[in-house]
Chains A and B, each alone.
Chain A
Amino acid sequence: MSAVIEGHHDDHHHHGPAKGISRWLFTTNHKDIGSLYLWFSFIMLFIGGAMAMVIRAELFEPGSQIVSPEFYNQMVTNHGLIMVFGVIMPAFVGFANWLVPMQIGAPDMALPRLNNLSFWILPAAFGVLIATFFMEGGAPNFGWTFYAPLSTEYAPPTVTYFIFAVHIMGASSIMGSINVITTILNMRAPGMTLMKMPLFVWTWLITAYLLIAVMPVLAGAVTMMLMDIHFGTSFFKAGGGGDPVLFQHVFWFFGHPEVYIMILPAFGIVSHIIETFSRKPIFGYESMVYAIASIALLSFVVWAHHMFTVGMPIAGELFFMYSTMLIAIPTGVKVFNWLSTMFKGSLTFETPMLFAIAFVALFTIGGLSGIMLAIAPADFQYHDTYFVVAHFHYVLVPGALFSIIAGVYYWLPKWTGYMYDEFMGKTHFWLSFVSVNLTFFPMHFVGLAGMPRRIPDYAMQFADYNMIVSVGAFLFGLSQLLFLYVVLKAIFYGKKATGQVWEGAKGLEWTLDSPPAYHTFETPPNLESGEAKA
């Protein structure tokens, strides 16, 4: 097929990458865009991580140490915003870009130019967010949940830039999700029915649905903030008949599905890794799919468990308590399925598998502390303490982040064509595993003992544990520099990888070369004869 679109093309459009920087700026290739997302996320990991290091340095000892309380608040806020919107989410979108077309046998994403736009909005949004540090009044300082009236009446003037940055960030997520969902629903190779799709594709189908459903609600929340700050409305002002608590309801209606947006793709990645290194198909594929779907649906009716202490009617407290606990059931199904997949498998423990097993164990710890927090009367004690910090860092760091690291080790040979250094990878794993627990486990204890979160100073009795936490955090931060080294070493000095890479790996992406050709599956693979389900 020949095509002459903008005049300067030659007579066929399926050729290799463009030369130089324009390849990355103007690309419509899902593999290039996937790499852009992943590198962006990696860079933001170090920026957000540096902010975490500032926080831990300040908390190393009681008393005011290094930064002013105002700057500490800015660090806490931007650490959260960057890690959630700039690291975890873009990393998963990067995986989706690389893997969804290859796993379903599609030539590219459904809407390739929109795909490029979704990516390039992110540097713009985060550039503005980071630039607010150098503006009058300093960066946003009201926490990543930006509760009104902290984010309205008492906010620095930069909040306006923050609001618009969130708007375009949301637009990026919505466009990216429309692309993913359209790709999955419309571009599967003939014969790949929905119930034959690899689990990673399933998790992203549902994640994309959640994103399209809740990112507009976030846009609504920041719009209400903007109107309250600059145009005299009273959404969050009781004097006018509004309610600051309304902000929390709107925010968490977005925020709770957002939590699952950050963990469902992790479930997909870990499922693939565990079945590969157990050399067994995943146990209970159908129940995995139904579990993901039930988690997603339940996520819309649990939001107020983030605000038990705000003053809700008792019926509300009970409803949100029980609905939250229901989520433990599908999540438990997934954990048991991973364990059953490993049971009597021919297990080997390469780096991706180590991270995946650590994910299962440590994510479960985060899940169990989540059940503790779901108990409304108990939450009155835990609320806004370091116990909550411990809980969500357990699901986000050894949960979501470990799954991303595991996924990078697992697919890096496929993406680049080169193996990473297994010894260095394992070193990275053990350093991360020890330091992540050193960082976050003691937070449970100080939290139960009453140490409040988001405060730059604390009482003397918390000093010992905080010192341990800070040492763990510095070690964890340094370990991720090792990760960067391992990745770069693989790309520049790695051994050549085979197409199959892993003995037990199943699925369409492993039928391709390592690295795959610039354009793959230009004609859809025939699945009737071959292996369709990963």
Chain B
Amino acid sequence: MSSESSYYVPDSSKLPIFMAFGLLLFVLGAGGTINDLGKESSNSYLLLMASFAVIWGVMFVWFSNVISENNQKLYSDQLNRSFVHGMAWFIFSEVMFFFAFFLALGYVRLFAVPWLGGDGEKGITNILWPAFESTWPVMETPDNENFPGAYKNMNIPGITKLHTWLPFWNTLCLVTSSGTIALAESALKKGNRTSFKSWMVVTISLGFIFVFLQGLEYYEAYAHMGLTLGAGIYGTTFFLLTGFHGFHVCLGAIILTIMTIRGFNGAFSEHDHFGLAAGSWYWHFVDVVWILLVLVVYVF
């Protein structure tokens, strides 16, 4: 009854308003927790924890409902196309979120820092910090007392020392995992479930290795390089770009882990595996962002 049946319009549902309530708790909890940072006593974090519980709980029930509706063959081909459109536009919105941070990095590197160093016709700001010299990465900030620059940066150390450079291994992990998830998908489409499951396990392992290496890199930055969030604009852009990317890798890895567990429980068929496909698009998306990020944050 797939393509001929009518479009499934779900009955009224309590899930959305619970989700909105969870988001309300999140705003109050996150706002309160962050405002109370450094204070002795604050209970706002309880609100934040509660909001996570509500949000994750609702998502669990919501996705379960969608899966069971799909298993009851309520979804027409047209409705499945809606999911495809929805996921594609969601990824587009994520692209634009990263765009804002790439825009910031580009502006800082092309304009703000050179101007602070006295470049160009608007070089008047050099009057404030005459000693500041424009370089990238900014190791010595204009106001070095309040923003102590790092004493080492993350840039590529040269082609011969590539193996000592963590981002190289990170890139290898992520690019390989993009390939392995494609192999998993094609195995599933051929009906080879054992191969599908193995490639999924390889993919998520590579994802978690990436996250682990990224954590190691952050530890190095804080412990041995003086590179912190407060280290001026280089640390700022470095941590925000890699941090949001890492956060998205975590999300993607969680999605793929859930898909793998579902795969082990016998979910997905050769023609009906949109959850997995969507997770795999998301994974390719974080991979592409990473490649751009390596180029503009680490290499050039």
Contacts and interface: CB of A to CB of B under 8 A. Distances in A.
A286 B7 CA distance: 31
B99 A217 contact: yes
B148 to A, nearest CB: 10
Given A160-B31, A240-B147, A3 B82 contact: no
A113 B7 contact: no
B85 A246 contact: no
B14 interface: yes
Contact of A237 (B12, B62, B68, B147): B147
B107 A230 contact: no
Contact of B34 (A3, A186, A220, A230): A230
User: How would you classify the secondary structure of chain A's contact residues: helix, strand, loop or mixed?
Assistant: helix
Interface stretch (A54-62, A103-111, A344-352, A442-450): A103-111
B164 interface: no
A519 B85 contact: no
Contacts of B16: 26, 113-114, 116-117, 120
Which range contains the number of A residues in contact with the other chain? 35 or more
Given A161-B28, A168-B23, A113 B10 contact: yes
A246 B107 contact: yes
Contact of B85 (A117, A182, A241): A182
B295 interface: no
A161 B34 CA distance: 9
B76 to A, nearest CB: 10
B40 interface: no
A66 B82 CA distance: 54
A488 interface: no
B20 interface: yes
Contact of A234 (B12, B17, B121, B233): B233
A93 interface: no
Given A234-B236, A246-B107, A185 B85 contact: yes
Interface residues of B, number: 80
Interface in A358-375: none
A124 B21 contact: yes
Contacts of A6: 11, 65
A241 B35 contact: no
Nearest to A5: B69
A28 B13 contact: yes
A164 B103 CA distance: 22
Given A23-B12, A312-B122, 4 more contacts: A25-B14, A182-B89, A186-B78, A223-B240
Interface of B: 1, 5-17, 19-21, 23-24, 26-28, 30-31, 34-35, 37, 62, 65, 68-69, 72, 74, 78-79, 81-82, 85-86, 89-90, 92-94, 96-97, 99-101, 103-104, 107-108, 111-113, 115-116, 120-122, 125, 128-129, 138, 141-143, 146-147, 228-230, 232-236, 239-240
Interface of A: 1, 3-6, 9, 13-14, 18, 22-23, 25-29, 106-108, 110-114, 116-117, 120-121, 123-125, 127-128, 157, 160-161, 163-165, 167-168, 171, 174, 177-179, 181-183, 185-187, 212-217, 219-221, 223-224, 226-227, 230-235, 237-243, 245-246, 249-250, 253, 311-314, 519, 522-523
15 contacts: A1-B6, A13-B10, A128-B27, A160-B35, A163-B31, A220-B97, A220-B101, A221-B100, A224-B104, A238-B143, A240-B143, A241-B108, A241-B113, A241-B142, A246-B107
